[in-house]
């Protein structure tokens, strides 16, 4: 029972209606491996979700980039899990480092969000990752384990969770983790899941890598045994996203 390769495109706070339509056209025209081989999810800003969902090819799915930590109500500016469910949005990204670091989302707050979103039936891409300072201090594994633990403390069923390892120093910097660096942290995360949750969860949860992934480096990264896919930022707005999706073929022939 293999882990299906997963490629997410995080469009972040980018796009106009025209640009969004153009990106979707490129995706719709792209020749990619079948859904049995790769699961593709794109995440436009909230306001474009209905548009993207309505024009996107049916074998690709959409994700929100965030959602509120509990039931909706008097929380100005927030979007609840219930609203996403109402719009038939199947996925949500939670705990992206830009939200952790710029908006001050703590491990516990992220864990609460993951648990609430799952309880409403959403599938979650949960992000973890260390800063450069933390890596240089030798605390990478400790940091990602603590971020994962805050989720594990609140979640019992991991079926609908994809774990995204996104080292902060690699995001938007062009400084991609080497395949060995990515593999090392992914295997440590899997070991953590094995020891602290269950061998079954460790064997089945997909751990994807994010941070300066592009069409030129995705194949080699995909060749690592514990790299089950990618969460792509900048390159997900470009035609090379198709090449990144195609790197799933590496696993098929492995
Ligand atoms: O943050 C990311 C995806 O969530 C990665 O961004 P970049 O691919 O632009 O480095």
**What is the percentage of the chain residues whose pLDDT exceeds 90?**
98
Look at domain 5-252 and name its CATH class.
alpha beta
Instruction: Give 253's pLDDT tier (boundaries 50, 70, 90).
Output: low
CA distance 52 to 23: 10
Tell me whether strands 229-232 and 60-64 are parallel, antiparallel or unpaired.
Answer: unpaired
Most informative mutation of 6, 12, 165 for ligand 1 (most atoms within 8 A of CB): 12
Distance, CA 74 to ligand 1 centroid (Å)?
31
Q: Give the DSSP per-residue string, 76-94.
A: TT---HHHHHHTT--EEEE
Encoding tokens for residue 100?
Answer: 């952790």
What's the pLDDT at 136?
A: 98
Tell me: pLDDT of 155 over 60: yes
> Which candidate in 39, 166, 186, 240 is catalytic?
166
Encoding tokens for residue 186?
Answer: 């992914």
- pLDDT, tens digit (0-9, with 9 covering 90-100), for 191-223: 999 999 999 999 999 999 999 999 999 999 999
Instruction: Give 111's pLDDT tier (boundaries 50, 70, 90).
Output: very high
Is 166 a residue of the active site?
yes
Mean pLDDT of 154-174: 97
Distance, CA 211 to ligand 1 centroid (Å)?
5
> Is the Cβ–Cβ distance between 65 and 93 less than 8 Å?
yes
The verdict on the CB of residue 214 being under 6 Å from ligand 1 is no
What's the pLDDT at 1?
A: 52
What's the pLDDT at 2?
A: 86
Q: Which atom of ligand 1 is nearest to the CA of 236?
A: 8
Distance, CA 73 to ligand 1 centroid (Å)?
31
pTM over 0.90: yes
> Is the Cβ–Cβ distance between 218 and 230 less than 8 Å?
yes
Backbone φ, ψ for residue 207 (5° rounding):
-115, 115
What's the pLDDT at 27?
A: 98
CA distance 8 to 169: 19
CA distance 126 to 113: 10
> Which candidate in 39, 61, 96, 105 is catalytic?
96
Encoding tokens for residue 114?
Answer: 């993951």
Tell me: pLDDT of 189 over 90: yes
Q: Mean of the per-residue pLDDT values for the chain?
A: 97
Most informative mutation of 6, 8, 9, 10 for ligand 1 (most atoms within 8 A of CB): 10
What's the pLDDT at 250?
A: 94
Residue owning the nearest CA to atom 8 of ligand 1: 233
**What is the percentage of the chain residues whose pLDDT exceeds 70?**
99
Q: Coil, helix or strand for 143?
A: helix
> Is the Cβ–Cβ distance between 123 and 95 less than 8 Å?
no
- pLDDT, tens digit (0-9, with 9 covering 90-100), for 70-100: 999 999 999 999 999 999 999 999 999 999 9
Domain spans of the chain, in order of start: 5-252
The verdict on the CB of residue 236 being under 6 Å from ligand 1 is no
The strand pairing partners of 230, in sequence order, are 7, 209
CA distance 203 to 12: 30
Closest CA to 66 of 53, 76, 87, 81: 81
Residue 90 class from Cβ within 10 Å (0-12 exposed, 13-18 middle, 19+ buried)? Answer: middle
Instruction: Give 251's pLDDT tier (boundaries 50, 70, 90).
Output: confident
Rg from Cα positions in the chain: 17
């Amino acid at each position: 029972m293999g882990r299906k390769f997963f490629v997410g495109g995080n469009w972040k706070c980018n796009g106009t209606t025209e640009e969004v339509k153009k990106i979707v056209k490129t995706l719709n025209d792209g020749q990619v491996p079948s859904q049995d081989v790769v699961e593709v999810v794109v995440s436009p800003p909230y306001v474009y979700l209905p548009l993207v969902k309505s024009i996107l090819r049916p074998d690709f799915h959409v994700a929100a980039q965030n959602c509120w930590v509990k039931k909706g109500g008097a929380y100005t500016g927030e979007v609840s899990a219930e609203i996403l469910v109402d719009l038939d949005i199947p996925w949500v990204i939670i705990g992206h480092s830009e939200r952790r670091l710029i908006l001050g989302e703590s491990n516990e707050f992220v864990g609460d969000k993951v648990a609430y979103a799952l309880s409403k039936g959403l599938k979650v891409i949960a992000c973890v990752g260390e800063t450069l300072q933390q890596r240089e201090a030798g605390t990478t594994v400790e940091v990602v384990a603590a971020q994962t633990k805050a989720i594990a403390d609140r979640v019992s069923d991991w079926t609908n969770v994809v774990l995204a390892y996104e080292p902060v120093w690699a995001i938007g910097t062009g400084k991609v983790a080497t395949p060995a660096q990515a593999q090392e942290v992914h295997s440590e995360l899997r070991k953590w899941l094995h020891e602290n949750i269950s061998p079954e969860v460790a064997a089945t949860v997909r751990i994807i890598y994010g941070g300066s992934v592009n069409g030129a480096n995705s194949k080699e990264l995909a060749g690592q045994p514990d790299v089950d896919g990618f969460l792509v930022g900048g390159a997900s707005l470009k035609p090379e996203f198709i090449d990144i999706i195609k790197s799933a073929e590496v696993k098929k022939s492995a």
